[in-house]
């Protein structure tokens, strides 16, 4: 069965030079690498982790451009994808291709990075499959350098699995249309990756990508891409075909926060099913995992998990840890409100009273009343009765670090 490259064992390096001192500016290149990174990371397309996708904007010298490629090549065991967008230059003597840097000058190849050096970095990679995408002027010369018979290509590369996709034919300028957010080539590339290919395969491979790119660019009278490949690497699938996913597929990239929120909701539902079946021991690690996967910038679904976990801990005699879980939730109520936030306060007050921390229980209930008033909600009902004789509070921070959730106050009278 044909599958996508393993995201955990793959790497991408996206290089883009948009700002130049001596050449025309290419502002669309900045959007190229940013949006291509988002597209490759879309869980509905490939799901390449962001830490596996290195962005190299406006490299100042050869080391800045090539070092990330060498690092990615050492880390990748499945697939290495290297993309460059910017000015391509030719040396007046050799006519070889050079990749533009911010300080590059026309007809001065020594002010840029020789394509040969990039090719050497890709050749040295551990990855089983290597893909090079060039979106620059005169990039077709790279395909010519890699072209010829299979024997000549193998001798030049000295590695298996090389695929080169270039934006323009030799000696034709790759278009960067005014008013468009991306260059002509990368704009079409992103459109195919994001929206898919109607009547195309379930997984879009490199050859399909090349064919559809040529059709769409040619229909707009824009330069057609060129390619060079070895060992049928063109059959390598790169992304899922969103056009085959059906009308109910998400219209845009899946955010990490959305994936985490779904994991939290699934974990909570599973834990409740386990508890209903009397399998509390199995439900406990599920709730801990769900709490660990909560979105870092959102409390959506977190209060429900914390309440469920605290109940389970209390039922199994782990009251101290149950209080600590609710204290963490209580800190979150300071920036939010709603029924679950009020429920957190009420349950925390009950556990604090049961453990003898009556003054803390009063403070929690006071905060709950403030939340209810600020939200325009009804007052907290059925609040636990707090006895008149307080016991000493717990001293020190809760387990796991952090400040005590409430600063104890000394009663005003005897």
- State the pLDDT confidence band at 152, using cuts at 50, 70 and 90: very low
The residue among 284 and 149 whose pLDDT is bigger is: 284
What per-residue confidence (pLDDT) applies to 275?
83
Among 197-211, 241-255, 302-316, the minimum mean pLDDT is found in 241-255
pLDDT at 372 over 90: no
- State the pLDDT confidence band at 143, using cuts at 50, 70 and 90: low
What per-residue confidence (pLDDT) applies to 52?
95
Among 39-53, 166-180, 293-307, the minimum mean pLDDT is found in 293-307
pLDDT at 141 over 60: no
Residue 164: is it exposed, middle or buried by C-beta count within 10 angstroms (0-12/13-18/19+)? buried
Residues of the chain with pLDDT > 70, as a percent, come to 72
- The Cα–Cα gap between 108 and 94 comes to 11
Among 210-224, 269-283, 360-374, the minimum mean pLDDT is found in 360-374
Contact 204, 5 (CB under 8 A): no
Contact 161, 231 (CB under 8 A): yes
pTM of the model: 0.58
Contact 63, 257 (CB under 8 A): no
3-state secondary structure the chain: CCCCCCHHHCEEEEEECCCCCCCCCCCHHHHHHHHHHHHHHCCCCCCCCHHHEEEEECCCCHHHHHHHHHHHHHHCCCEEEEEEEECEEECCCCCCEEECCCCCECCEHHHCEEHHHHHHHHHCCCCCEEEEEEEECCCHHHHHHHCCCHHHHHHHHCCCCEEEEECCCCCCCCCCCCCCCCCHHHHHHHHHHHHCCCCCCCEEEHHHHHHHHHHHHHHCCCCCCEEEECCCHHHCEEEECHHHCCCCCCCCCCCHHHHHHHHHHHHHHHHHHHHHCCCHHHHHHHHHHHHHCCCCCCCCCHHHHHHHHHHHHHHCCCHHHHHHHHHHHHHHHCCCCCHHHHHHHHHHHHHHHHCCCHHHHHHHHHHHHHHHHHHCCCCCCCCCCCCCCCCCCCCCCCCCCCCCCCCCCCCCCC
- State the pLDDT confidence band at 150, using cuts at 50, 70 and 90: very low
- The Cα–Cα gap between 81 and 127 comes to 10
Residue 69: is it exposed, middle or buried by C-beta count within 10 angstroms (0-12/13-18/19+)? buried
What per-residue confidence (pLDDT) applies to 396?
43
Highest mean pLDDT among 358-362, 397-401, 402-406: 358-362
Residue 379: is it exposed, middle or buried by C-beta count within 10 angstroms (0-12/13-18/19+)? exposed
Mean pLDDT of 61-73: 96
Mean pLDDT of 122-151: 70
CA dist list (Å): 186 to 84, 109, 350, 361: 10, 25, 60, 60
What per-residue confidence (pLDDT) applies to 251?
47
Residue listed under structure tokens 């406990």? 284
Provide the token pair at 202.
Answer: 């379930």
What per-residue confidence (pLDDT) applies to 268?
78
CA diameter of the chain: 97
Strands 237-240, 203-205: parallel, antiparallel or unpaired by DSSP? antiparallel
Mean pLDDT of 92-111: 82
- State the pLDDT confidence band at 375, using cuts at 50, 70 and 90: low
For 286-296, the pLDDT digits (tens) are 888 877 766 54
Among 126-130, 279-283, 297-301, the minimum mean pLDDT is found in 297-301
Mean pLDDT of 323-332: 80
What per-residue confidence (pLDDT) applies to 256?
61
Contact 368, 349 (CB under 8 A): yes
For 154-170, the pLDDT digits (tens) are 233 333 467 888 887 55
What per-residue confidence (pLDDT) applies to 284?
84
For 181-203, the pLDDT digits (tens) are 999 999 999 999 999 999 889 99
In terms of Cα–Cα distance, which of 187, 162, 163, 169 is closest to 85? 187
Phi and psi at residue 271, in whole multiples of 5°? -65, -40
The residue among 386 and 17 whose pLDDT is bigger is: 17
Among 36-40, 210-214, 253-257, the minimum mean pLDDT is found in 253-257
Residue listed under structure tokens 């509390």? 280
What per-residue confidence (pLDDT) applies to 132?
92
Beta bridge partners of 14: 55, 83
> Over the chain, what is the mean pLDDT?
77
What per-residue confidence (pLDDT) applies to 53?
96
What per-residue confidence (pLDDT) applies to 194?
94
What per-residue confidence (pLDDT) applies to 224?
86
Residues of the chain with pLDDT > 90, as a percent, come to 31
What per-residue confidence (pLDDT) applies to 244?
83
Highest mean pLDDT among 236-250, 274-288, 371-385: 274-288
């Amino acid at each position: 069965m044909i599958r996508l490259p393993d995201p955990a064992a793959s790497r991408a390096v996206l290089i883009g030079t948009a700002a130049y001192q001596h050449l025309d500016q290419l502002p669309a290149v900045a959007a190229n690498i940013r949006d291509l990174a988002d597209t490759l990371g879309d869980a509905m397309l490939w799901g390449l982790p962001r830490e596996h996708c290195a962005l190299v904007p406006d490299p100042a010298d050869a080391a800045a451009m090539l070092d990330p490629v060498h690092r990615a090549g050492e880390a990748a065991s499945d697939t290495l994808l290297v993309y460059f967008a910017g000015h391509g230059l030719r040396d007046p003597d050799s006519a070889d291709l050079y990749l533009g840097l911010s300080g590059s000058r026309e007809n001065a190849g020594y002010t840029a990075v020789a394509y040969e050096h990039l090719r050497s970095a890709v050749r040295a990679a551990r990855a089983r499959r290597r893909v090079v995408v060039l979106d620059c002027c005169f990039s077709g010369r790279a395909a010519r350098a890699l072209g010829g018979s299979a024997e000549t290509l193998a001798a030049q590369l000295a590695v298996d699995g090389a695929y080169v996709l270039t934006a323009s034919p030799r000696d034709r300028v790759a278009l960067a249309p005014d008013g468009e957010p991306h260059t002509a080539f990368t704009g079409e590339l992103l459109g195919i990756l994001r929206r898919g290919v109607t009547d195309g395969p379930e997984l879009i491979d490199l050859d399909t990508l090349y064919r559809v790119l040529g059709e769409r660019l040619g229909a707009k009278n824009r330069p057609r891409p060129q390619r060079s490949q070895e060992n049928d690497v063109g059959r390598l699938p790169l992304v899922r075909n969103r056009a085959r996913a059906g009308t109910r597929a998400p219209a845009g990239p899946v955010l990490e926060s959305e994936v985490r929120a779904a994991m939290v909701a699934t974990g909570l539902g599973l834990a409740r099913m386990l508890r209903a079946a009397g399998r509390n021991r199995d439900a406990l690690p599920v709730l801990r995992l769900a709490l660990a996967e909560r979105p870092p910038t959102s409390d959506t679904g977190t209060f429900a998990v914390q309440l469920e976990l605290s109940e389970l801990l209390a039922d199994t005699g782990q009251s101290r840890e149950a209080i600590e879980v609710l204290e963490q939730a209580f800190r979150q109520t300071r920036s939010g409100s709603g029924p679950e936030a009020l429920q957190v306060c009420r349950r925390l007050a009950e556990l604090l009273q049961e453990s003898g921390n009556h003054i803390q229980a009063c403070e929690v209930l006071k905060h709950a009343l403030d939340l209810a008033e600020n939200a325009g909600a009804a007052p907290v009902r059925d609040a636990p009765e707090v006895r008149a004789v307080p016991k000493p509070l717990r001293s020190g921070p809760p387990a796991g670090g952090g400040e005590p959730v409430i600063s104890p106050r000394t009663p005003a009278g005897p």
